[in-house]
Chains A and B, each alone.
Chain A
Amino acid sequence: MRKYTSMAIGFAVALFAGAPLGNTSAGESSTRVIQLRDRWNAAELGVLASLRLSELPPTPKDPSNAVEASPAAIELGRRLFNDARFSRNGAVSCATCHDPKKQFQDGLPVGRGVGTGSRRAMPIVEAGHSPWLFWDGRKDSLWSQALGPLEDSVEHGGNRTRYAQLMGEVYRSEYDAVFETMPNLGDLPNDAAPNGTEAERAAWQAMDERTRKNISRVFANMGKAIAAYEKSLHHEASRLDRYVDGVVTGDPAGVEMLDPNEVKGLRLFIGKAQCVSCHNGPLLTDQHFHNTGVPPRDVAQPDRGRAAATAKVAKDEFNCLGPFSDANPQQCQELRFMVSDDPALEGAFKTPSLRDVVLRPPYMHAGQFTTLEEVVRHYVKAPHSAVGHSELTHIHPGSSKAGHAERAPIELSEGEIKDLVSFLGTLSGPSTGAPRKP
């Protein structure tokens, strides 16, 4: 595949340069000069080619989840994902905020489970490529991430003791087929958890260590099944992918996939609008954390983002190094080499994938912007951050001198803003999230 890509680009470059390829090792001797509608130089072609979904490597294996490739685990996870019994009011499932019919999100500024959350539900397709989960990366695996909302008081609002009993009642045979035989949990209180209400914490403390560990293991295994299901969800090719294929193979029909305004937007995206400096690669994200000065939803309590999350993930009992992980400590590299003391983490949030972005307003980590145009205008305006420091270069009125010497400000005309927004509409696939055979 890699070889094919390189050859295709080499061919395209020769086409654009008008140079004959001559006799090559692959036997491509003909010199077809096709005049494509859009011209890209070699540097731009390299960047474009790197954005294609076909360049996405297989999802990295998660050594902390031994069952993630098991079809039985995927099926169990799919059922758990959609089962609203795993909530305090019996009405909230993972699919409530991650609706499969809406690219696995809910279209709301902040999540709404049994209560109201403080951040936007994230898309989950291809989330297995991300070493850190949630906007602040407070979880280090998909399975550990899935456990967070289940016990969050405003999301599912339940607790692991209730869930473990429900697993025993409803999914025992499916559980036993994927994991070790479910332990006999004995006579348990309905509600008990180490992080719940005062009554739940007291009930948790009253149980013996062995019972607590058995309950937590069943709970952790629920997360592993849900993660297996989530990892089976993949994107389909977008118009951008077909356009770039057209450009690198010299296929005029492929080039027609984008209209001229969208192509102008693409030039800005990889050029002076600097979007690609964080939204890079086939998923259009660097999977890293950045402070771009997005205004907080609650000005009185600005969200510290990544800076407040590193301590949480480091001491999380469900992390890669914890007792419920299937990894050996050597394999937990992201956690072992995590950055936790960089001032740049203050007010920083994870770069989201832009695949399907036009289909899922509102935008940013707390749905602060209703439209993509507002998002683009934010990057042009580049306001100072309410917490920490924005990476963007802000130009003060009356001064042409940029505050941040290393990075050029993002300056776009009204027409360019429009073109960039129109380009962002080309990143959607036809059937997002459809399970695909590996």
Chain B
Amino acid sequence: MFRSIVSTLSLLALMGAAGCATPPGNLDLSLTHPSVDKKFVVALQPPATPPAINQIHSWQIKVSSPTGAPVTDARIAVDGGMPQHGHGLPTRPQVTQELADGTYLLEGMKFSMTGWWEIKLAIQSAEGSDKVTFNTVVTTPVAVR
């Protein structure tokens, strides 16, 4: 009961946060995307516990070929920011290691406020180069359980 109230509230709260920046209603929040030119299928895995505002944390990135084979030895550049505020990420996150075939550790992620954030990856591998953008909506910390 409370959980549902709180999750509804958190959605409303992030829409009201910052006074001016309601994320677009049709935002694609899925965590698995084909890259722009369909060279890869990329899956993002956020931390199990939602991080607090301004807390540095890590994500995992899984890169596969369109047929599902892991893409190894890829170089992944990370960028992003808040499109509605015109600023980038507060940190410079980096892919620091390949944890398993095709699974990469993305360290140094941080969100400094609630709202809509973009995470942009540029992937280079023996299979080619491609880009992919993910959306994530950071909710007000009060409602994060």
Contacts and interface: CB of A to CB of B under 8 A. Distances in A.
A338 B91 contact: yes
Nearest to B5: A10
Given A24-B2, A276-B19, A277-B19, A46 B91 contact: no
Contact of B52 (A45, A57, A131, A342): A57
Interface string A53-69: 00101000000000000
Contact of A286 (B52, B88, B112): B112
A288 B144 CA distance: 22
Interface residues of A, number: 54
A47 B4 CA distance: 18
B87 A280 contact: no
B64 interface: no
Interface stretch (A219-227, A404-412, A418-426): A404-412
Interface residues of B, number: 45
A283 to B, nearest CB: 10
Contacts, number: 146
A46 B9 contact: yes
B19 A272 contact: yes
Nearest to B4: A10
Contacts of A333: 56, 107-108
A92 interface: no
Interface string A16-57: 000000101110000000000000011111110110000101
Interface in A317-341: 333-334, 336-341
B16 A47 contact: yes
Main secondary structure of the interface of B (DSSP, over half): loop
B17 A47 contact: yes
B145 A406 contact: no
Contacts of B2: 6-7, 10, 24-26
Nearest to A5: B142
A42 B85 contact: no
Nearest to B57: A333
Given A46-B142, A287-B54, A333-B56, A277 B21 contact: yes
A391 B93 CA distance: 23
A49 B54 CA distance: 18
Nearest to A334: B56
A281 B53 contact: yes
Given A286-B113, A342-B88, A391-B87, A273 B19 contact: yes
Given A50-B141, A276-B18, A277-B85, 10 more contacts: A9-B6, A42-B9, A43-B15, A43-B16, A46-B16, A55-B141, A274-B19, A276-B19, A339-B90, A404-B86
